Amino acid sequence: MNMHFKSLSFACSLFLYSCGQQTTKNVEVTKLTTREKQLCDSMNIDQSVLTALKKHTHENVEPFHYSLSKMYKADHTVTEIDPIYLPGFVFKEEQSNTRTLIGALQEKLKAQGYYLFILEQNFGLGGKDVMAILKTTDQYEVLRSVKTDGTNYGISNDSLISIIKILDRKYSLSLVSASGDLCEFNIGKEPDSWVELAKEAYAVCPDIVDQGTGSVEALAGELKKYRRLYLWWD
């Protein structure tokens, strides 16, 4: 073997070794804690759900619980009034990362039989948002489970779901946030008229104009800019 071939062989070996080292270094193995495994097993939830989640957040998960009414005590503890318990998880997350998680994981988890959404929004007031994963792929089941309604305007949960289904057929809505008094959707199909959509939204939820944008035209501008339909009843 001549010296030139030896040098070339050594260089190739060194290159392959370096690639192997780099590949090993870049692979991050995500492992669940014993507690996380027990939570999954107790609710018959596939552990791969939390494995996928942990690749994007380090927040601790809890079994799903939610209450629209809460009592805040002087010692900063919070008591939920008539909480809802469902098969799934909740976890706190920085508002700056919630929609990133939706984009990265919502469709992937739906393919596995689960729905990721924002449960509580703090609107940049200092606290973290609360996100949730439920064992369903049906956005209407999410709305039904968290009992979203516009009761101040005589809109029951069943009525709201019927309304959303009509809007969904027209604008291809995808739920990203739901709680007792609000719901939010990505708009998948651009309307022929953003003003018309704004009028439809205002008819269902006057607060988004009367306590929000100030006019239907301004609401139409926000719907077009952000491609999100937000309904909230004060």
pLDDT surpassing 50 at residue 170: yes
Supply the mean pLDDT for the chain. Answer: 88
| pLDDT confidence band for 75 (50 / 70 / 90) | confident
* Sequence-separated (6 or more) residues with CB below 8 Å from residue 181: 68, 148, 149, 150, 232, 233, 234
**Is pLDDT of 21 > 70?**
no
Quickly tell me which residue has 């070339």 as its tokens.
Answer: 8
pLDDT at 24 over 60: no
Q: How far is CA 182 from CA 6, 230, 231, in A?
A: 70, 8, 5
Q: Could you tell me if 133 and 115 are in contact, meaning their C-beta atoms sit under 8 angstroms apart?
A: yes
Residue 20: pLDDT over 70:
no
For residue 97, pLDDT beyond 80: yes
Question: What count of other Cβ atoms lies within 10 Å of the Cβ of residue 85?
Answer: 9
* pLDDT bracket for residue 197 (50, 70, 90): very high
Q: How confident is residue 18, by pLDDT bands cut at 50, 70 and 90?
A: very low
pLDDT at 126: 72
Average pLDDT over residues 183-201: 98
More confident: 197 or 69: 197
pLDDT exceeds 70 at position 7: no
Residues 103-130 pLDDT 10s: 999 999 999 999 999 999 988 777 899 9
**Section 175-202 average pLDDT:** 97
Residue 230: per-residue pLDDT: 96
Among 9-23, 48-62, 121-135, 155-169, the least confident range: 9-23
The model's confidence at residue 29, banded by pLDDT at 50, 70 and 90, is: low
> Which tokens belong to 212?
């929000």
Q: Is the pLDDT of residue 214 over 60?
A: yes
For 55-58, the CB contacts below 8 A with 24+ separation are 55/28, 55/30, 56/97, 56/100, 56/101, 56/104, 56/105, 57/91, 57/93, 57/97, 57/101
Among 45, 39, 66, which Cα is nearest to 113's? 45
pLDDT at 17: 43
State percent of the chain over pLDDT 70: 86
The 8 Å CB, 24+ separation contacts for 125-129 are 128/92, 128/93, 128/94, 128/95, 129/92, 129/93, 129/94, 129/95, 129/98
Q: Span 79-83, mean pLDDT?
A: 84
pLDDT higher than 70, residue 31 = yes
